[in-house]
Each structure stands twice: as C-alpha cells, then as structure tokens.
Amino acid sequence: MLIYIKLLLTALLWGGTFIAGRVVAVDVGPFSAAFFRFLIASIFLVLFTYRIEGKLPLPGKRQMIPVFLLGMTGVFSYNVFFFKGLKLINAGRAAIIIAGNPIFITLFSAYFFKEKLNLIKGVGIIISVIGAVIVISKGSLSEIVNGGIGRGEIFIFCCVLSWVAYSLIGKAVMNGLSPLASVTYSSVIGTVLLFFPAFFEGMFNDYSSYTNMAWLSIFYLGFFGTVIGFVWYYEGIKEIGAMRASLFINFVPICAVVLAFFILNEPITLSLLIGTVLVCSGVYLTNKRVIPDRVKSTV
C-alpha cells in the first residue's frame, strides 16, 4: 500500500515541477535555473546512490559517450527548453504537451529497436496526438494551419524530443548501469555542461536578486521534483514492476493542470480539459500490456 501512495505522490511532485518552473522562469534565466536545479539534484543523487547501492558504479569505456549524451539531452537541452517554454506559456499547457513523451518514445523505439506496435498501441498514439493537437492549438486547428503556434509551444515540444533522445540512449546505458546510477551521472554531467552558459548568462551577478520564492522553487525542482520523485519511482519499479509503476505517470499532467489552476490561477479551458483526457487515455493505451490468450485462459 505504501508504494502506491509514494507513486501517487511522485505524480504530484512531478506535476508540481511545472508550477515551480513557471515561477522560476519569470525571474531566472533558463541556463541559470537549470544549473542550480541540477547542482542541488546532483549532490543529493550522489548521496542517495551511495546509500541505496553502497557505491557509485563507474561506467565502462563503451558507456562513457552514451552517459555524456544522457547529460546533454535529458538534463542540458531538456531543461533549457523547459524554462524557456515556461516563460512563455502556461504550466498546464506545457504539462499536457510533455505528457506525449511516451507516445514518441514508443514510435522511435519501434523504428530504431524494432519493438512491435499492436492495434491498441496504435489507437493510443492516435488518441494522444489528437489530444496534444487540441491543447497546442487551443481547440482551433486553424491556429496550426495559419502558423499561430508560438515559440513557447515549440520550446516545450523540443523538451519532448530531448526526452525521447534521453530515453533511447538510456536503453544502451542501462545494460551496464542501474537506473539510479545512470540518472546520477547524467545529472552531474548536465550540471557541468550548464555551468558555462549559466556563467555567461550572468548567474553570479544575478543570483543575489532572486526572490525567496524563486529559490524555494529551484530547491523544489532539484530535490523534490528530481531526487525524491525519481527515487520513489525507482522503488515502485522494483516492487510492482515497470509497467504498473509507469501507469502513475498518467496522473502527472492532471496534477499539473489542477495545481496550476489553484496556485497560478491558470484557467482550465474546454480545449485543455479535452486534450488532457485524450492524452492521458492515449498514453494509458500505449503502455497497456496485452495478455496473450494462453495466459488469459489460465486465470
């Protein structure tokens, strides 16, 4: 029972990252925000890795480049686009767009790793894409046709592409490293890569002017949104399996939309509501496990 509570709280924490990110993006540059977030995350991830695994496993020679690319895609580019996007569009809309991650991961996995797509997954992909289009276009398809999509939506969609690359590269890294160690290394590498653009962005000149709310939000993103969220999700995978644990990700955009409504006073429009339902339904179908007939007959 406890693990299900942790997984629900993980979805809530991850939903909250969009609200915290929106707050941070107002006053803090995207490179500086990402750097401070993962500086905090890296410190705690190293400590958690030592505590859970008893050591920090070293990647092999063949894993060095993939691990570097994990930091480049899942930490560096993802978070720069994340904060740039949240500076321009509402947290709820950004959450629904990013909720399409599993759909694109499924498509690219089928192409690169020859993973099979069945009818249910195909229907799920179509439903999610329709939902994402409704959210991005605010319910008016003419917005897309007439080029009405703004830079904010484009930045957030780049987040999706960054995460897809991170996930596909992770398939290769996971062969020799645990998920926790992989995330720790990617976080540390991403932090180092973010330092230089953050420095030239004026991080050391501006940090003293950040509001208390901005610092609190950065800490939330680094500790609760990254470290605690991942550790609890990792525990869920170990106890109930990856498939069942991944279903809780469907609650992330819902939590984000609800939190944005209560905390940021962002309106829940009809297009956002319909898009949320469609995206979450599509993601569920895409990750639904089809039980073979011979297995069903024994139940």
Band of the pLDDT at 234, cuts 50, 70, 90?
confident
pLDDT value at position 275? 84
pLDDT at position 292 over 50: no
pLDDT of residue 230: 86
Does residue 206 fall inside a structural domain? yes
195 belongs to a structural domain: yes
Strands (DSSP E) found in 29-154: none
Count of domains in the chain? 1
pLDDT of 119 reads 83
Please check whether residue 190 is in contact with residue 72, taking contact to mean a CB–CB distance below 8 angstroms.
Answer: yes
For the chain, percent of residues with pLDDT exceeding 70 = 89
pTM confidence score = 0.85
Residues 48-73 have a mean pLDDT of 86
Residues 6+ positions from 122 with CB-CB distance below 8 Å: none
Residue 297 pLDDT exceeds 70 = no
- 298 lies in a domain? no
* Better pLDDT: 263 or 291: 263
Report the pLDDT averaged over residues 122-137.
80
**Torsion angle defined by CA atoms of residues 6, 7, 8 and 10, in that order, rounded to the nearest 10 degrees:** 90
- Give domain status of residue 85, yes or no: yes
User: Is residue 268 a contact partner of residue 91, using CB atoms and an 8 Å limit?
Assistant: no
pLDDT at 298: 30
When the pLDDT of each residue in the chain is averaged and rounded to a whole number, the result is 84
pLDDT of residue 117: 76
Q: Does residue 4 register a pLDDT over 80?
A: yes
Among 130-144, 181-195, 244-258, the least confident range: 130-144
Predicted pLDDT of residue 289: 59
Q: Does residue 88 belong to any structural domain of this protein? A: yes
Q: What is the pLDDT of residue 226?
A: 92
pLDDT higher than threshold 70 for residue 41: yes
Please state the rounded mean pLDDT for residues 243-270: 84
Per-residue confidence (pLDDT) for residue 142, from 0 to 100? 60
- For residue range 67-82, what is the model confidence (pLDDT) as tens digits? 899 999 999 999 999 9
Residue 115 included in any domain: yes
CA distance 202 to 86: 20
Helix 30-53 / helix 229-240 crossing angle, nearest 10 deg: 40
Q: What is the pLDDT of residues 134-151, one digit of tens each?
A: 877 766 666 555 555 688
% of the chain beyond a pLDDT of 90: 39
Q: Please give the pLDDT value at position 294.
A: 40
Of 5-14, 91-100, 125-134, 137-146, minimum mean pLDDT range:
137-146
**Residue holding tokens 């590498």?**
189
pLDDT at 299: 34
CA angle 126/128/132 to nearest 5° reads 120
Report the C-alpha gap between 93 and 132 in whole angstroms.
Answer: 9
**Of the candidates 192, 160, 172, the residue with the CA atom closest to the CA atom of residue 66:** 172
pLDDT at 193: 95
Distance CA(196)–CA(181), nearest Å, equals 24
Q: Is residue 140 included in any domain, yes or no?
A: yes
With a cut of 60, say whether residue 296 has pLDDT above it. no
For residue 60, give its domain range. 2-292
Asked whether residue 220 is assigned to any structural domain, the reply reads yes
**Residue 265: DSSP 8-state:** -
